Copies of this chain bind each other. A is one copy, B any other.
Amino acid sequence: MPVNPPSARHPEPSGTDARAAGERDALKLWLRLLACSTQLETEVRRRLRARFQVTLSRFDYMAQLYRYPEGLRMNELSRHLMVTGGNVTGLTDELEKLGWVQRHTAAADRRACVLTLTAQGRNRFEGMAREHEAWVTELLGGLRAAELRMLHDLLGRLRETVALRTGEPP
């Protein structure tokens, strides 16, 4: 990947004793993990744009609303989308214009606005999600079943161990 090699974040490797070797291994793992997810995200972003003329932010936005047929408030959706950092108001305007998203007044609080996918929006999202799934299967298809499962389990261990250190529920 030519873009933003995460190794850029670190000026130089640490020293040479055993503890430093452990640190170097942790750092190497971290950089490789970022590189892998960046590599996959970049490819998926490219395909979404080429195939559906859709950005990853829009896709993620629709994925969230798809999970909540009863709708989400603007601030809830915002929280769910924190990572991709999409501008929720801007995305809502765009997707409303396309007829994929609707704004409603919340039953409980008439000042609040609730967002849902329209039938057309659900339909479009399902088509994209199906293809997205096929891409992932293809991209990861070179791993043997045993490698795939071992990698899954080790990443599970990583998640647990990081969660312990950041105080999140694992």
Interface residues in chain A, defined as those with a beta carbon under 8 Å from any beta carbon in chain B: 1-5, 8-11, 14, 22-23, 25-30, 32-43, 59-60, 63-64, 66-67, 79-84, 125-126, 129, 132-133, 136-143, 145, 147-152, 154-166, 168
Describe A's contact surface by its main secondary structure: helix
Asked if A8 and B60 make an inter-chain contact with CB atoms under 8 angstroms apart, the answer reads yes
User: Which of B41, B42, B139, B155 makes the CB contact (< 8 A) with A32?
Assistant: B155
Asked if A29 and B66 make an inter-chain contact with CB atoms under 8 angstroms apart, the answer reads no
Residues of B within 8 A of A148 (CB): 25-26, 29
Residues of B within 8 A of A8 (CB): 60, 63-64, 66-67, 80
Asked if A23 and B152 make an inter-chain contact with CB atoms under 8 angstroms apart, the answer reads no
- Looking across the interface, which residue of chain B has its beta carbon closest to that of A141? B26
Asked if A30 and B136 make an inter-chain contact with CB atoms under 8 angstroms apart, the answer reads yes
Sample of 4 more A-B contacts, CB < 8 Å, known A27-B137, A33-B40: A39-B162, A41-B83, A42-B83, A141-B165
Asked if A150 and B142 make an inter-chain contact with CB atoms under 8 angstroms apart, the answer reads no
Given A10-B133, A40-B162, A151-B151, are A32 and B156 neighbors across the interface (CB < 8 Å)? yes
- Looking across the interface, which residue of chain B has its beta carbon closest to that of A160? B142
- Looking across the interface, which residue of chain B has its beta carbon closest to that of A35? B159
